[in-house]
Amino acid sequence: MKKLITALMAASAIALGGVSMSDARELRVAPAAPPPHPANGVMYTNFMKYLPEESEGRLTATMLGPEVVNLGQMKDALQSQIAEVGNLLPLYFPADLPMMSVTGQLSLTSKNPHAMGAAMTEFIVNCAPCQAEMKALNFVYLGSGASDLYEFITTKPVHSAADLQGLRLRSGGAPWARLAEHFGAVPVQMSVFDQFEAMNSGTIDGTMASVGDLLSFRLVEVAKHITFAPIGGYISTSNFTVSKATWDDLTAEDRAAMARAANRANADFTNRWGYEIPEIAEAAAKDAGIEFIDADPELVSEIQSFVDADIETAGTYSQEQFGIQDAPEQIQSFLALVDKWTAIADEVNSDPLAMAERVQEEVWSKVDYATYGQ
């Protein structure tokens, strides 16, 4: 029996490229979201699967739940190394990540999740000010993803611009706050984790959010109406943010392996959040008796006009709030990448495996892992 166990252990070591599990470096990773959310159930779950595959068993991971590290705690958790890799949202920390937050100001322009996630990744990897911001926090960036297109999820019906007047709507950041205020609604800044209780108690009348939140954050129990309107999606993400102390402790080979694992998981995450979850959530909403509303054409037109004008506003806002004088030029550079990746996403029919391959080829294969993040 002892010989059999020894043989099995040896076979496992061979399968892992000669590295035994006891010798592997186990990383503490934090998705900052509950299991139903794709950041946890797909993005970080798949990352934990891909990590030993890409590193030939040298790297593994254990997951910390949102009860240990939530979104608002992520910066401190990574700096203290409670978590070594974490899901960081730049819009939660605009004072620390102003340049990375500039692209987040364009969230309302999102139309294709895969294109937005890829464009954000290429932009930040090659954006010297973005990299400097991450370095100042002792972080290393390993890619972004994007949500499905946001909707109005409310307890009161929204058909027209008049219906938005006075509504208290949870906003996930400045772009949606500007949109709400433009239409006479009252934006309420609060954590995504608090929107269920706020809607349930009547503190807010709804949220501008992913329809996936119906399941991820139980909004299916409190929402009464979903209005489809072109209000963008969440794109300001740093899905795999690595503590620099951890990064510095890895070989260039293992850094590259981690980047490949993250890139694969980023595409999986966007596919789940941007494409699969909406279908599942909408089916659950129908079962719950939630009303689906197509916004009046006049409201759609008014929103689109606002979004177009808000591109210039985003540049001015970034200059005034973040002190980034070349923000308008940076925004145009990012939008050019959106056009590039929209064409690629159309070419591959937004297939997640194909998108991961193209991002690896266009972005990560060009990175020098001996110097990246240093």
Helix, strand, or coil here: 334?
helix
pLDDT for the residue numbered 9: 39
Mean pLDDT for all residues in the chain = 92
| 372 inside domain | no
Which tokens is 33 given?
């979201």
Q: Is residue 296 part of a domain?
A: no
Each residue of 84-99: b (16+ CB within 10 Å) or e?
bbbbbbbbbbbebbbb
Q: Kindly state the average pLDDT of the residues 20-37.
A: 87
Domain with 117 in it: what CATH number?
A: 3.40.190.170
Q: What is the mean pLDDT of residues 4-22?
A: 43
The beta-strand segments (E) located in the chain are 25-30, 59-63, 85-88, 139-141, 151-154, 168-171, 186-189, 206-209, 225-228, 238-243, 291-294
What is the predicted pLDDT for the residue at 15?
44
| 209 domain residue, yes or no | no
- Residues facing residue 189 across a β-bridge: 171
Mind listing the pLDDT tens digit for each residue in 138-191?
A: 999 999 999 999 999 999 999 999 999 999 999 988 899 999 999 999 999 988
287 belongs to a structural domain = no
Give the pTM: 0.88
3-state class (DSSP) for residue 164:
helix
Residue 156 placed within a domain: no
Distance CA 318, CA 61 (A): 37
Note the pLDDT of residue 172: 85
Q: Is residue 77 part of a domain?
A: yes
pLDDT digits (tens, 9 = 90+) for 215-271: 989 999 999 999 999 999 999 999 999 999 999 999 999 999 999 999 999 999 999
In angstroms, the CA 209 to CA 233 distance is: 8
pLDDT score recorded for residue 22: 59
Instruction: Please state the domain count of the chain.
Output: 1
In a domain, 142, yes or no: yes
Closest CA to 43 of 93, 107, 86: 86
Nearest CA-CA partner of 115 in 106, 171, 205? 106
State mean pLDDT over 116-143: 96
Is the pLDDT reported for residue 10 higher than 50? no
The whole-number pLDDT of residue 19 equals 52
Task: Give the tokens for residue 80.
Answer: 């203290």
What's residue 8's pLDDT? 32
Decide if 241 is inside a domain.
Answer: yes
- For residue 112, give the DSSP letter: -
pLDDT for 1 beyond 70: no
Q: What is the pLDDT of residues 102-121, one digit of tens each?
A: 888 899 999 999 999 999 99
Structural domain for 347, as ranges: 18-146+236-280+338-366
Residue 5 pLDDT greater than 70, yes or no? no
Helix axes 327-347, 352-362, angle to 10 degrees: 130
Tell me the pLDDT tens digit for each residue of 272-319. Answer: 999 999 999 999 999 999 999 999 999 999 999 999 999 999 899 889
